[in-house]
Amino acid sequence: MRKQYRAEGLTESELAATPVEQFARWFTQAATEAHLFEPNAMVVSTADSEGRPGSRTVLLKQFDEQGFVFYTNYDSRKARDLAENPYVSLLFPWHATARQVIVLGVARRTGREETAAYFRTRPHGSQLGAWASAQSRVITSRAEVDAAYAELTTRYPEGEQVPVPPHWGGFRVAPLEVEFWQGRENRLHDRLRYVAEQDGSWRVERLSP
């Protein structure tokens, strides 16, 4: 299977001053012009202290100049990996536009106030789900999760405030490198990478396809 990618590319003169500004441009295009399904879906890749990798798709919930934020169970595989090795890679695979964004950064937990503020915006069912699931743990059957959820719906009916689970929260990934990948004809893709400098500025370098 082979598909020829677009003719127009990405030049240094087109880039924004910071990678987050450039990401915002591409993200808006993916969401409002290309109408991609869940453009905030990203592949989060971690590695434990022995270097064993793990990848999974997670939804980006916020981004700004401080980093890219997602939420998870702090007892999950990804969170345990990040506790041992905070370096993480985020991949946004926007296939329909022949684009990728690849972020290499360091993950740190968000504060409890920020976590609670986001938790309150989640649908009631998703709030209960954060309690019902012991994410990444081996379970005997689906019935175990369903029973836990059913018990929670009785304890916290619709309209009643659900407390924020102590084992649940966010990670903010502060970027060290951000690559913008634009597919081109004949596999001669454009790859422009921002690299963080010591003084807080960004260096832009072009990578061979």
Q: Do 47 and 81 contact (CB within 8 A), yes or no?
A: yes
Which residues are identified as catalytic?
A: 187
d(CA 75, CA 79): 6
CA neighbor of 68 nearest in space, from 142, 177, 206, 205? 177
d(CA 205, CA 191): 9
Q: Do 91 and 102 contact (CB within 8 A), yes or no?
A: yes
